[in-house]
Structure 1
């Protein structure tokens, strides 16, 4: 996009993903000074991207829209391969858990994460957040027997540095009887990152969807100039 632009084009994303984390539903916007057909913008962007990224949709939006500040929530999914050894074909796209895990216990533990809490025990050092209070609207796990994967999904108003990967580690340990079933309320009280222990690998984490405060609507214009939003699929 920035090949000889006048003026330079700055892209604003809904948030950052750590190295190794994937995105199925990333959202970004930029101000576009040229008149080009919608299809030309879409094809032009994709022609310049590496093969591990794809723009899935491009739309024109209001100048008031902001991909970061208009976010009302995000949904993440963590994919965990179950087995004594990691599947080599999935090593870059799943985490790995070699212990027997009880799905019912995992889902019971996930219910304790729902609601507004201080997630100080679930944030890695290096976080720049002013507050560790976040709200989880929903959290659930399902077993994909065909893929031999445990998939854990979180929907919340925001997530701290490594928060999802730490939560997954805690509920997996509960599901494998490495922790008491009621350990999450205790972790909220102690506010001690060390007691949450492990951080699951980035390879299993996916940003699934970004929710906006206002509905993103495309226009019927044949040409686009102004603020553009792109929907991005990427893997790292």
Structure 2
């Protein structure tokens, strides 16, 4: 009997060209997962992800679903994935889901974390998971700027896809900016119902520019109203971003 399976996936995105399978490369997360299902069944079985993380972006709690007719129990299928997946991808949980469950369409929210190193020495052990900018930003200025971005807005100015023809209105429930690692790190947490392409990285880059005095926090309102990508700031590097959780 064909069943719908829901799985939670964790991965280090350093050496991958993002989540979405592509014709010109085999190094995508979706592609690796589908290779395991092909190994198991000899058939092409699509895996649907909750979101398309960019090249170099990591995940602790990506969610995906696929449909499969198998005699394997859930724990056996989980073990099969983890036996053959590379060491930088792991399936954390795998359960039968309802017929109508869809990892992307059923999601009601996502949480992302961006890590920024603000210490003096190089972050040797975390260098693949955080951005070390040349200047140290003022966290309070960043928090002030973030307060203008929370809520339901048109985030077209913060969308990396300049040809987006669908709605760019999204609701940001919260942005928190916390000092961690003994004052050597800033952690920016973004929680919302959904995010546009590159949105979190552009938000981070814009907040950083406020933090180093290149912009005033009050400019966020004008940037939102402009609906122009050129009005927002730089896009922060992919390696600092991690998809933490998908909510249903």
* Structure 2 residue aligned with 1:117: 153
User: Normalising by structure 1, what TM-score?
Assistant: 0.83
Alignment of 1:17 onto 2:34: no
Alignment of 1:159 onto 2:211: no
Relative to its length, the structure with more strand (as a share) is 1
Cα distance change of structure 1 residues 29 and 50 upon mapping to structure 2, 3 Å threshold: same
Deviation at 1:129, TM superposition (A): 5.2
Cα distance change of structure 1 residues 186 and 84 upon mapping to structure 2, 3 Å threshold: farther
* Structure 2 residue aligned with 1:222: none
My pick for the range that moved more, 105-114 or 132-141, is 105-114
Q: Name which of 98, 119, 134 aligns with 1:62.
A: 98
Alignment of 1:190 onto 2:239: no
Give runs of aligned pairs for residues 210-225 of structure 1, distance below 5 A. 210-212=246-248
Give the Cα–Cα distance (whole angstroms) in 1 for the partners of residues 143 and 47 of structure 2.
Answer: 38
Alignment of 1:100 onto 2:116: no
Deviation at 1:37, TM superposition (A): 2.2
User: Normalising by structure 2, what TM-score?
Assistant: 0.80
Deviation at 1:85, TM superposition (A): 6.7
* Structure 2 residue aligned with 1:231: none
Alignment of 1:137 onto 2:137: no
More RCO (CA 8 Å, sep 6+):
1
Q: Deviations over 1:58-80 (max 9, x none)?
A: 11111111111101111111011
* Structure 2 residue aligned with 1:29: 65
Give the Cα–Cα distance (whole angstroms) in 2 for the partners of residues 153 and 129 of structure 1.
Answer: 27
Alignment of 1:46 onto 2:46: no
Give the Cα–Cα distance (whole angstroms) in 2 for the partners of residues 4 and 48 of structure 1.
Answer: 10
My pick for the range that moved more, 33-42 or 6-15, is 6-15
Contact 1:127 1:160 survives alignment (8 Å): no
* Structure 1 residue aligned with 2:21: none
Cα distance change of structure 1 residues 13 and 113 upon mapping to structure 2, 3 Å threshold: same
Cα distance change of structure 1 residues 147 and 35 upon mapping to structure 2, 3 Å threshold: farther
Cα distance change of structure 1 residues 85 and 193 upon mapping to structure 2, 3 Å threshold: farther
Q: CA RMSD in A?
A: 1.8
Alignment of 1:175 onto 2:211: yes
Which runs of 4 or more aligned residues in structure 1 lie more than 2 Å from their structure 2 counterparts after TM superposition?
Answer: 6-9, 83-91, 125-129
Give the Cα–Cα distance (whole angstroms) in 2 for the partners of residues 209 and 72 of structure 1.
Answer: 11
